[in-house]
C-alpha cells in the first residue's frame, strides 16, 4: 500500500503553485510509489477534513495555470474563525491527519504558512514546506517561487506607465505589493527604470522625493515615475505613530510588543498611504499626479518560465526528501541547489531587504531617489 502524503496551499496565492503541486505529485507517483492527497483551502480544509486524491489526471495540464487548484486561505490552525468564534483547532487537524492515515503533510506557503507548519510539526506531525510568495520574504532561501512572475508583471506595468506619464508630463505613483518588505518594488522599480523607489525598509521623507522630482524637471525631464511598496512609510508617520504608541504603552510592555503595536498601527492605514503621498507630492511639486495600484494583478495568471522551473525543482526535491523521511524542513533555494533547511530556522523570521543590498547601492548610483 503506497504511503499517503497530504499537500495544502496556504496564504496569498502565487503563480507556480500548480507547477509545484504537479512536480511533487508526479515524482511521488512515478518514482517513489506514494500517493498525494490534496487538502482544500489551506489549513481550513485540514480542519474540515476536505481531502481529494491527486491522481495523474488531476495533475495533468496544470503546469501553466495560475492560482492553486487546491484553493487557499489565510486561516491559522491556532486562531481559526469557527461559528463566530476564534478557536485553536490544531488538535482537530492532528486528528484528521491521523484519521486519513497520512504519513506526512506538505505545506506550500509564505512566512505565515512556515510558522503554522512549524506549529503542526511541534505537535508531532511529519511536515515539509516549500517557499512561495510574490514578496520573496521567506527567511533562509535565496528565492521564493511567484516572485519572478510578479516582478515581470510589475515591471511591464511601469514600462507602460512611462509613455502616459511622459505624454501628460505627470508624476505617476505606482503602488506595488509588499506590505512589510520591498523586494518586489525595488526589483520592478530598477527593472522598469522608476525615478523614485520607496520600500518599507527605508522610511521616506516627502520633501526629499519632491526635490528629486523637481530636479528632474530642472534637467528637462517633465515626468516622473514613483514605484512605492504598499507598506512604505514616511518618516513623519513612523515617528508620530511610534511616539504615540510608546507614550501610551504600559511600562512593562517589552520592546518587541511595542514594535508589534507600532507595526499594527502602520498596517491599519497602509491602504491609504499612497493616496496621502500623492496629495503631498502634488502640493510640493505643483505637478499633476496620478496613482496606479497594481494590486492582485501581480498575483494573477500563468507563471513565468523561471517560476515554473523553480517550482518544479523545489517540488521534485521535496518528493525526494519526503521519500527519505527527512521531515521538519523547508526546501530552500541556495544558489543553484535545492536544500532542506530546518523549519525552526525559517518560522517567524522575515527576509527584509538589507539597506546595503547591492541593488539599493546600484539604484542610488543611478541617481534613483529612495526618499532618504
Ligand atoms: O503575501 C503576499 C501578498 O500579495 C502581499 O504582497 C500583499 O500585501 C498581500 O498578499 C495581499 O493580501 P490579500 O490577497 O489577502 O489582500
The 10s digit of each residue's pLDDT in 200-247 is 999 999 999 999 999 999 999 999 999 999 999 999 999 999 999 999
With a CB cutoff of 8 Å and minimum separation 6, the contacts of 92 are 47
pLDDT value of residue 174? 98
pLDDT value of residue 295? 96
Note the Cα 199 to chain centre separation in Å. Answer: 14
From 177, 293, 351, 352, the mutation candidate for ligand 1 (largest count of ligand atoms within 8 A of CB) is 177
Q: List, chain by chain if needed, residues with CB within 6 Å of any ligand 1 atom.
A: 11-12, 110, 133-135, 177-179, 230, 299
Domain 151-299 has CATH 3.90.1170.50: no
Instruction: Say if residues 149 and 51 touch (Cβ distance below 8 Å).
Output: no
Strand order in the sheet with 224-229: 196-198, 224-229, 171-176, 289-293
- Percent of the chain whose pLDDT exceeds 90: 94
pLDDT digits (tens, 9 = 90+) for 144-195: 999 999 999 999 999 999 999 999 999 999 999 999 999 999 999 999 999 9
Find the helix packing angle between 147-168 and 305-323, rounded to 10°.
160
Please determine, for residue 301, whether its predicted confidence score (pLDDT) is greater than 90.
yes
**Which sequence spans correspond to the domains of the chain?**
4-145+303-345, 151-299
pLDDT value of residue 268? 83
Q: What pTM was estimated for this model as a whole? A: 0.95
Please determine, for residue 1, whether its predicted confidence score (pLDDT) is greater than 80.
no
pLDDT digits (tens, 9 = 90+) for 98-141: 999 999 999 999 999 999 999 999 999 999 999 999 999 999 99
- Percent of the chain whose pLDDT exceeds 70: 100
Instruction: Say if residues 47 and 96 touch (Cβ distance below 8 Å).
Output: yes
Q: What are phi and psi of 285, to 5 degrees?
A: -105, -10
Nearest alpha carbon, ligand 1 atom 13: 12
* CATH topology match: 4-145+303-345 vs 151-299: yes
CB-count exposure of residue 75 (10 Å: 0-12, 13-18, 19+): buried
**4-145+303-345 CATH fold:** Rossmann fold (3.40.50)
Amino acid at each position: 500500500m503506497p504511503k499517503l502524503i497530504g499537500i495544502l496551499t496556504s496564504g496569498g496565492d502565487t503563480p507556480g503553485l500548480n507547477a509545484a503541486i504537479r512536480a511533487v505529485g508526479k515524482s511521488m507517483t512515478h518514482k517513489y510509489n506514494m500517493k498525494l492527497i490534496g487538502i482544500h483551502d489551506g489549513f481550513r480544509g485540514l480542519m474540515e477534513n476536505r481531502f481529494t486524491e491527486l491522481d495523474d489526471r488531476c495533475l495533468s495540464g496544470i503546469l501553466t495555470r495560475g492560482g492553486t487548484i487546491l484553493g487557499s486561505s489565510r486561516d491559522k490552525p491556532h486562531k481559526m474563525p469557527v461559528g463566530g468564534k476564534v478557536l485553536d483547532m490544531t488538535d482537530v487537524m492532528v486528528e484528521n491527519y491521523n484519521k486519513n492515515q497520512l504519513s506526512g503533510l506538505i505545506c506550500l506557503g509564505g512566512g505565515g504558512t512556515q510558522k503554522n507548519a512549524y506549529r503542526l510539526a511541534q505537535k508531532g506531525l511529519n511536515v515539509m514546506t516549500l517557499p512561495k510568495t510574490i514578496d520573496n520574504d521567506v527567511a533562509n532561501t535565496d528565492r521564493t517561487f511567484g516572485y519572478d512572475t510578479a516582478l515581470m508583471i510589475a515591471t511591464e506595468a511601469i514600462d507602460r506607465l512611462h509613455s502616459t506619464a511622459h505624454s501628460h508630463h505627470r508624476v505617476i505613483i505606482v503602488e506595488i505589493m509588499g506590505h512589510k518588505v520591498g523586494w518586489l518594488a525595488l526589483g520592478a522599480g530598477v527593472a522598469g527604470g522608476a525615478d523614485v523607489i520607496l520600500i518599507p525598509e527605508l522610511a521616506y521623507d516627502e520633501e526629499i522625493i519632491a526635490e528629486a522630482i523637481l530636479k528632474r524637471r530642472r534637467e528637462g525631464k517633465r515626468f516622473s515615475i514613483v514605484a512605492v511598496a504598499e507598506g512604505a512609510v514616511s518618516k513623519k508617520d513612523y515617528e508620530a505613530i511610534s511616539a504615540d504608541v510608546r507614550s501610551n504603552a504600559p511600562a512593562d510592555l517589552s520592546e518587541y510588543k511595542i514594535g508589534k503595536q507600532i507595526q499594527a498601527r502602520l498596517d491599519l492605514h497602509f491602504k491609504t498611504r499612497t493616496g496621502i503621498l500623492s496629495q503631498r507630492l502634488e502640493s510640493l511639486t505643483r505637478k499633476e499626479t496620478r496613482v496606479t495600484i497594481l494590486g492582485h494583478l501581480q498575483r494573477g495568471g500563468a507563471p513565468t518560465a523561471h517560476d515554473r522551473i523553480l517550482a518544479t525543482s523545489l517540488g521534485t526535491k521535496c518528493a525526494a526528501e519526503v521519500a527519505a523521511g527527512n521531515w521538519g524542513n523547508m526546501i530552500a533555494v541556495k544558489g543553484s541547489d535545492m536544500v532542506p533547511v530546518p523549519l525552526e530556522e525559517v518560522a517567524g523570521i522575515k527576509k527584509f531587504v538589507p539597506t546595503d543590498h547591492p541593488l539599493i547601492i546600484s539604484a542610488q548610483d543611478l541617481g534613483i531617489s529612495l526618499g532618504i
